[in-house]
Amino acid sequence: MRKLNILKTIVDIIFIITIPLMLSCIAIAIGVFFIDFTDLSFIDIELIIDSENYNPKDLFSNILISISTINYLLLIAAFYIFRKVLYHFLRVKIFEDYVINSFLKIGNLIIISAIISIVLSFVSNLYYYKSGITFEIGSNENVMNICLGLFFLVLSEIFKIAKNAKQENDLTI
Amino acid sequence: MAIIVNLDVMLAKRKMRSKELAAIIGITTANLSILKSGKAKAVRFSTLEAICKALDCQPADILEFVED
């Protein structure tokens, strides 16, 4: 269980660090429509948006930024659920419906986030660079995320089987 | 369930209490209660053997198949 404790501590630290990031994501997702983030001199913060084609007055660009920040929130939500699952593991509540459902949620959230990322990159490529569909061979972050999401879905199925096996074992006299 | 556990009947015939049987065969009364109520998913051969030995009966005296 020491490994679990180490994992829980790391996840806790990352989650605590993520909280201000999460709040700023929410602020950006909403504020992008009202505030020009390329000029934040009035609050003494220098913010650089990594897109030379970003135009703060363009509604479509703002929508893309808003969706991508909301998409990031999905990953944080998955991370939060994972943290709660680890808490259950620490209390030796392993093969339970909550854990199974949580793995299912985590998997779905990661896959949805990866799909949104793929669609966003495709749309932004089409919109900014007027380029069509591009195929990348190699380790793509989105493909890795889809694999991770599917892994959690498989884990959920495995835990479901394990739960039934445990129940059967408990009811074997 | 298709398999009926007639442990109650055998206990009554032998005039033995559940608590006594549980103590003899070495299982908890809670588990014996699960077995008696038919909630058990499976019975180990070792448990069945111990029950048969304690009640001096055959497995067929305890377990009965009834079509649904």
CA distance A164 to chain B (A): 11
Dihedral Cα B6, B7, B13, B15, nearest 10 deg? -160
% of chain A exceeding 90 in pLDDT? 35
Residue A167 forms contact with B (CB below 8 Å): yes
Provide the pLDDT for residue A6.
Answer: 93
Using a CB–CB cutoff of 8 Å, tell me whether B40 touches chain A: yes
Facing residue for B47 by CB, picked from A167, A168, A173:
A173
Domain spans of chain B, in order of start: 3-65
A168 touches chain B (CB under 8 A): yes
Q: For A102-135, what is each residue's pLDDT tens digit?
A: 999 999 999 999 999 988 888 887 777 766 666 6
Enumerate the domain spans of chain A.
2-170
Does the beta carbon of A166 lie under 8 angstroms from any beta carbon of chain B?
A: no
User: What pLDDT is recorded for position A153?
Assistant: 96
Enumerate the residues of chain B whose CB falls inside 8 A of the CB of residue A167. 41
**Quick check: A173 and B40 CB within 8 A?**
yes
CATH topology of domain B3-65: 434 Repressor (Amino-terminal Domain) (1.10.260)
Q: What's the pTM value of the predicted model, to 2 decimals?
A: 0.74
Residue A66 CA: distances (Å) to CA of A20, A34, A52: 17, 12, 17
The interface predicted TM-score of the complex, written ipTM, equals 0.74
